[in-house]
Amino acid sequence: MIKRIIPLVVFFSVLAIPVYSQTQFYIYEKSGSYNLGTWLRYNRCDGFFPGLRGQLFLDDEESFWIKGRAGYGFSLHAPRYQAEIEKRFPSGDNEYLFKIEGYRLTATGDAAVIPDWQNSISALLFRLDYYDFYEIFGAGLWIGKDWKGVFRLSLTGGINRYGSLPNKTSQSLLDWGGEKRADKRVFRDNPPVAEGDDYYVGMQMELDTRPSPSAFVNGWFGTAIYTNSEFLKPLAHGDYSYHHVTLRLSRLQAVTHRQRLLWSGSFGIHHGTVRGRANGQPAVTEPFLFDLGGLSTLRGYRYKEFINGSGMAMTNLDYYFNGSFLPRTFLAKIWGLKFLFKKIDLMFFGDAGTIWNAKATDALPDAILQERFRFKSIRCDAGWGLHIGNWMKFQMAFPLTRTPQTGKYDYKYYLYITPTI
């Protein structure tokens, strides 16, 4: 009886995640003093992961606070936690900020692919876990300035210890996805990382001209992150020595009164070496390298079809009609469809991108602009989709350039349970 009840408890607990993510609902909240919410997830390393997150304000202006989260992975048999102290110093329309944090987490570099809660539901229901995980244990320091809430510049530094994580569960409610081995369905293997200590300094810039992240107006938003562990290596003798750059810039643009175009461009370069080992063997991958293919990247290709690149360039273009197309077609005259089209409308999209590999002995400019990056290596796709209400997007993508793994008519389908534009 208990074995039947526990999966149902896990299922309904994880289904509560999108509600919290969308509404920021707290279990308990006292305005200006503190709040308390849930931290729930499910994946092939942690298994079922229940936890709590909270924030305690230390002044009446809500400019000084302690924030934290903690939980336990029942399959990994390990606690996970993160705690930070942040203080903001107003200066006219601007403000300075100081933050220090410590953590031990099951981390991933794939959070931009789909939201964590959607990955949790996919893993719990269908044994499909789209994230690659690693353990990170460390602390960091942030010092920065915020200009009118539009532009932020931060200097960072800290230490991280990276470790590999094996699969710890093969359970899901439905026996549909994963990989088939010995007549059993299991999660795909979680790849190892280059284990070791990383002492780093860096800089981060953030730009957002929208009134809020969900605002339906024209605006620019993006990030630029530079991390360097080579600078501290002679002093700290860490296992990593690298320069790492990631850039992402997006534009939301009104075309007509309702129609919107969303453009995003991404670029990354990792240049350096690592002395770490994974499970006594040379590392297959590490958390700094780039992958493309599938969800939210090159949607016409297999998930992570292109992996472990030291360089990456990609652009995405999405066009949303937002109630200005399907409701005005002759189909809306069919009984029942007019009501349905009030919640559903069409969108088109296209993607192009590539990854490449540079030698660790190359100078940094050569690693960025070197002969290994060729235009013929760019992969392109296009597709269409339906955005349904404010929560869901269905998309179908097809490749415009073939690969050994993906043919011309190898269509891909996606269902995103996430706020639409």
d(CA 266, CA 287): 17
d(CA 94, CA 140): 23
* Cα angle, residue 9 at apex, residues 120 and 123 outer, rounded to 5°: 20
Answer whether residue 113 is part of any domain: yes
Residue 361 in this model has a pLDDT that exceeds 60: no
Answer whether residue 289 is part of any domain: yes
* Residue 162 contacts residue 242 (beta carbons within 8 Å): no
pLDDT category of residue 280 using cuts at 50, 70 and 90: very low
Q: Is the pTM of this model over 0.75?
A: yes
pLDDT category of residue 245 using cuts at 50, 70 and 90: very high
> Who's near 69: CB < 8 A, 6+ residues apart?
39, 51, 52, 53, 54, 81, 82
Answer whether residue 390 is part of any domain: no
Answer whether residue 43 is part of any domain: yes
How much is the pLDDT for 418? 66
How much is the pLDDT for 204? 98
Query: Nearest-CA neighbor of 288 among 206, 225, 221, 369?
Result: 225
Answer whether residue 274 is part of any domain: yes
d(CA 142, CA 144): 7
Residue recorded with tokens 């789209």: 130
Three-state SS at 5: helix
pLDDT category of residue 371 using cuts at 50, 70 and 90: very low
* Cα angle, residue 177 at apex, residues 173 and 165 outer, rounded to 5°: 85
Mean pLDDT over the full length of the chain: 86
Query: Nearest-CA neighbor of 298 among 143, 157, 113, 128?
Result: 113
Residue 368 in this model has a pLDDT that exceeds 70: no
Looking at residues 3-14, what average pLDDT do you find? 55
Of 16-20, 62-66, 148-152, 334-338, which gets the smallest average pLDDT?
16-20
Query: Nearest-CA neighbor of 187 among 203, 167, 160?
Result: 167
Answer whether residue 413 is part of any domain: no
Answer whether residue 397 is part of any domain: no
What domain count does the chain have?
A: 1
How much is the pLDDT for 69? 97
Answer whether residue 398 is part of any domain: no
Residue 332's Cβ-side half-sphere holds a number of Cα atoms within 13 Å equal to 14
* Residue 116 contacts residue 41 (beta carbons within 8 Å): yes
Which stretch of DSSP H or E encloses residue 157? strand 151-163
How much is the pLDDT for 250? 96
Structure tokens at 256: 């007509």
**CATH number for the domain including 236?**
2.40.160
> Which amino acid, residue 275?
R
d(CA 136, CA 338): 51
* Residue 202 contacts residue 154 (beta carbons within 8 Å): no
- β-bridge partners, 130: none
Range of the domain at 156: 2-338+356-377
pLDDT tens digit sequence for 281-333: 445 567 889 999 999 999 999 999 999 898 999 999 999 988 778 877 877 77
Q: What is the 3-state secondary structure (H, E, C) of 229-241?
A: CCCCHHHHCCCEE
Structure tokens at 364: 């940094």
Three-state SS at 68: strand
Q: What is the DSSP string of 97-155?
A: EEEEEEEEEEEES-TTTS-HHHHHHHHHHHS-----EEEEEEEEEEEEEEETTTEEEEE
* Residue 358 contacts residue 310 (beta carbons within 8 Å): yes
pLDDT tens digit sequence for 158-202: 999 999 999 999 888 888 888 888 888 899 999 988 888 999 999
